[in-house]
Copies of this chain bind each other. A is one copy, B any other.
């Protein structure tokens, strides 16, 4: 079986990806979605190599030195630094969903509040939004978007098991929330991952606002 690995373009260079990641990160930082230097961002360079931000760097002003290469097991490539613990969750998405070209992890107030409000249910179902059509594979506002909300853990292996279990049940997996933490969203390239992230944050914001209004 041949798998079609996504890559951001046939001959994407690390310089080009780093520039695109920096631009996306600066945009997300401006929105306040990377408070206290949180969040991390990655993009697949080719089937074997993933560029990922080093943890703790200033997301508003990424420099080439803030981005390192790793493989899809989150092992550093040609770099003496270790990827951040959360890099394992990025790597998992590239393995489970080979069409993925970019993974974005952010913490907006909306994402964090939604992740806690819906943690009891274990998921949030977004229904009736035209903007769901911004999500790959959705062609009508009549399609729902089901996002799992996983329990947070400092042990990444535990979160990985939640993701694997959800995926093994053939549940849709377009993005996920971690309770009290934030969101992971992705797409076949950086622009698509940004579009997914923006649309999901928008629908979560609407969902929370609607709940504040008396019937």
A contact residues vs B (CB 8 Å cutoff) = 35-38, 107, 109, 112-113, 116-117, 128-131, 134, 139-142, 152, 154, 178-182, 195-196, 198-199, 202, 205-206, 208-214
Task: Determine the chain B residues whose CB is within 8 A of the CB of A113 once the complex forms.
Answer: 206, 209-210, 213
Please give me the 8 A-B residue pairs with the lowest Cβ-Cβ distance, nearest first.
A36-B134, A130-B181, A36-B199, A128-B180, A35-B202, A113-B209, A36-B195, A140-B154
Task: Determine the chain B residues whose CB is within 8 A of the CB of A36 once the complex forms.
Answer: 131, 134, 195-196, 198-199, 202
Q: Please measure, in the bound complex, the distance between the C-alpha atom of A195 and the C-alpha atom of B60, giving whole angstroms.
A: 13
Q: Please measure, in the bound complex, the distance between the C-alpha atom of A141 and the C-alpha atom of B112, giving whole angstroms.
A: 13
Task: Determine the chain B residues whose CB is within 8 A of the CB of A179 once the complex forms.
Answer: 128
Q: Does A211 contact B208, Cβ atoms closer than 8 Å? A: no
Q: Please measure, in the bound complex, the distance between the C-alpha atom of A37 and the C-alpha atom of B130, giving whole angstroms.
A: 13
Q: Do A195 and B130 form a contact, CB below 8 Å, given A109-B209, A213-B211? A: no
Q: How far apart are A211's CB and chain B's nearest CB, in angstroms?
A: 5
Task: Determine the chain B residues whose CB is within 8 A of the CB of A109 once the complex forms.
Answer: 202, 205-206, 209
Task: Determine the chain B residues whose CB is within 8 A of the CB of A196 once the complex forms.
Answer: 36
